A = this chain, B = another copy of it.
């Protein structure tokens, strides 16, 4: 096929309205032809706002719609596997929000399906499409030399709600659905590790490759949670990952990598500032700071998805990356439980 990829968005809740819809409206190579949400009001509201031809309340209609080539799954995590599996079965390419699935078994089942169908499945770890993170990756490969140690962090600051209130557009919502979802996030410890770990572990893997083992400690203070994780890679690099929700102040996310010939530090901004990560890349006596302007990682993610479909390259990240991110999340949880080092 040629021309823009005809995409449907399944699940029109907050992340869809805040991230995907504004991105899809502008992304090159993509036409948003349908949206689907259990709430007819929400589906209609977003379709009207973004001029989308079809608004469904049953995702089965999406799969049956022959004009739809690909779906973006932005429904709650627990539905990722079922929707993605049904989409693949219906011959649609899939971009599924991270985490790929709720359990490792579900994630591996999706990997099997992808292998069998030959369709494109991309995981929505959109930081891999952050222009700054991509610059850092090239710098790691070309200038940093042998990676020896690293530190990554993902800290949600308690000022985030105010920032969200400013950056987020008005969101059409179904109050009943919101309440149901809140219930499913009630196991905060599991939910937060999965939702934030999916980002930070994927970024570690994107820059540094696989992880061999983890040791982890966790602390719970009412609704606040902290994980400190010690990781090793196959090449013997030793690193740390810190995840904290909430800490006082502004959110902070990033990674610093120390190699034999260079170092690089990535400071990733709250995504709805639409700024590429700020990168400080040091080698040979000079710190280079790229001034990057193409900062909507969701838009770049959608464009990359369309290119994978049309041009045939592997999606970034692919289903196996999605599986490995979940394996790291589960290994971290197990390491907290046992107190011991967990091999992957």
Contact = CB atoms under 8 A, between A and B. Distances in A.
Interface of A: 22, 25-26, 48-49, 51, 146, 148-149, 151, 153, 155, 159, 162-163, 165-167, 169-170, 215, 217-219, 221, 224, 226-228, 230, 232, 236-240, 242, 244, 247-250, 258-263, 273-275, 280, 282-283, 285-296, 299, 339, 341
Of A228, A275, A287, the most chain B CB neighbours within 10 A belong to: A228
A287 B286 contact: no
B148 A244 contact: yes
Of A248, A258, A280, A295, the most chain B CB neighbours within 10 A belong to: A248
Nearest to A284: B248
Contact of A166 (B51, B237, B295): B295
A166 B224 contact: no
B291 A288 contact: no
Given A226-B238, A248-B259, A341-B339, A286 B285 contact: no
B148 A240 contact: no
B218 A228 contact: no
Given A155-B258, A285-B290, A289-B286, A240 B238 contact: no
A294 B341 CA distance: 44
B230 A238 contact: no
A256 to B, nearest CB: 9
Contacts of A249: 262-263, 282, 287, 291
A14 B187 CA distance: 45
B290 A289 contact: no
Given A230-B240, A273-B274, A286-B290, 6 more contacts: A148-B221, A217-B230, A226-B258, A240-B240, A249-B287, A287-B289
A166 B263 CA distance: 24
B219 A149 contact: yes
B258 A244 contact: yes
Contact of A148 (B219, B292, B295): B219
A239 B247 contact: no
Nearest to A281: B286
A151 B243 CA distance: 12
Nearest to A287: B289
A55 to B, nearest CB: 14
Q: Which 3 A-B pairs give the minimum distances between C-beta atoms?
A: A162-B293, A287-B289, A217-B238
A13 to B, nearest CB: 18
A61 B227 CA distance: 56
Contact of A149 (B226, B259, B260): B226
Contacts of A286: 288-291
B262 A258 contact: no
B226 A148 contact: yes
